[in-house]
Homo-oligomer: A and B are copies of this chain.
């Protein structure tokens, strides 16, 4: 078994939780109804299941390779990328005027999940290209858009993001790459960029590098960073490719996972200067980069969902096949499939519950993004944009942190076989480990959640979401059964804990920043657990209504929601305790560095 896209689960979330119906009433999205969504998902599932998923293990065994500056992708990737591009999959959510399909982000998000579930390494190339497209659409000139965007959408070219330098990881204030104006509107760039995903490869004719650099006399720190576009091959007036530009891949990294995705060290300007053009205004590069990053962060969150689902599918299949030991309740004298053993079920249920909750939260976020872009009412747009932006660091941070636990459980379900590389479970565990790191570590996401998303508006968005959670808790009370009782109890407790922590963060970030930031990641996880639990509660309500239509499917939704309530939501109070106890500053923050 490889990967089967969970289309029914995806459509359930889109319909019941993310309100696809309402989104299909927005201007420009009139065709984006349930039928369209289903058709798109089915096509995407074919490509992902049949072409990309089988290449995943191949990429792990035969990583992209570097020789004399040339990077060759894993055998099969180039042809697969051609199929991906020809199917129009790069353009799902991009504007029709640039040859995109103009579909809602909600539908695109399901496609992105499939892409990542089937092949995390492969999916990174379109992920970065999406970021480049977003940045160009936001800040590029018309000519730049016309030159680059259709080529990026068609897959003839791909895009990259060049932020990190050897001395500047998360801290972009330290960027040193310089851009010297040539007097003709172009610049020459000089510097070294590291960790550039798909920074060099042979799957496309050209690569559009988006690069952060400093112009002469730019202010120090992040206010002196500009964004440039530096193509691998220069582009002639007529759009054809010209000379090779002076940007070269000097090595690629030897990594724990996502081995098929080349992680390049790029050298700009070692042979006279890499020719680039400014995107938008000088010194506003960080702002534009954040546009790319918000899209990319959300997409990395989807990587967490995707790899979690893949690991779950593999573990569930193994647990159904592998026969070992008699059941603990004595119901059979012979060994049974290990899925009958309670702890295996607990592990699979944990994997499944975390995957479904993180999927639901992400899709709901995508729906808010669509409304934020297309709603006719400006106030509505702003309101939904604020919710989307609040959710992005949570989707990114929580889905990816969860994916570590989920893929680790996936190995555990396989027992000793899980540790053998041939089995394949270990690859997900290795691949997933980068997700809470790149595009901003979980701590960076948590800082964003505290600073820009919670404190800046005095907790307004957070509290509006908490009020919605409370409403859902109210609805649970009207229903019968243990699933509702557990969800009501633990979601209410979680809602209270998250509320207390939001108050704590708003009240103390200025006065006692170390105490608040010591609880930053626990706050992010708490928000993920409670808001994910909220979606599971909404799923529970929806599934209970439809149960008679399809006992198999909706019964599983109800059981999974109950499991989430009883096994995941109780962590909320523990996280609250750890966060608010930091107040006062005693404890570990008081130690000197050399006591570690």
Which residues of A does B touch, CB under 8 Å? 164, 168-171, 173-174, 195, 253-257, 316, 319-320, 324-326, 328-330, 335, 337, 339-346, 348-349, 352, 404, 408, 411-412, 415-422, 426, 429-430, 433-434, 436-438, 441-443, 446-447, 481-483, 486, 490, 513-515, 517-522, 552, 555-556, 559-560, 562-563, 566-567, 570-571, 573-575, 577-578, 581-582, 584, 586-591, 593-596
Contact = CB atoms under 8 A, between A and B. Distances in A.
A443 B447 CA distance: 37
Contact of A419 (B255, B316, B594): B255
Contacts of A490: 577
Contacts of A586: 481-483, 559, 562
9 contacts: A170-B324, A254-B421, A256-B420, A320-B593, A328-B517, A343-B517, A345-B591, A419-B437, A559-B591
Contact of A412 (B421, B437, B587): B437
B254 A589 contact: no
B438 A416 contact: yes
Given A412-B441, A419-B438, 6 more contacts: A345-B518, A418-B433, A419-B437, A483-B586, A555-B591, A562-B586
Contacts of A589: 342, 345
A593 B319 CA distance: 9
B518 A581 contact: no
A345 B566 contact: no
Give the one of A325, A326, A408, A430 with max B CB within 10 A.
A325
A155 to B, nearest CB: 27
Contacts of A515: 342
A148 to B, nearest CB: 27
A559 B590 contact: yes
B588 A577 contact: no
Contact of A342 (B404, B418, B514): B514
Nearest to A435: B419
A419 B434 contact: yes
Contacts of A174: 324, 335
A345 B494 CA distance: 26
A429 B420 contact: no
B429 A256 contact: yes
Of residues A255, A412, A588, which shows the largest number of chain B Cβ atoms within 10 Å of its Cβ? Answer: A588
A578 B567 contact: yes
B346 A518 contact: yes
A335 B596 CA distance: 20
A446 B255 contact: no
A443 B436 CA distance: 28
Given A328-B513, A588-B560, A443 B570 contact: no
A150 B152 CA distance: 71
* Residue among A328, A429, A481 with the highest chain B CB neighbour number at 10 A: A328
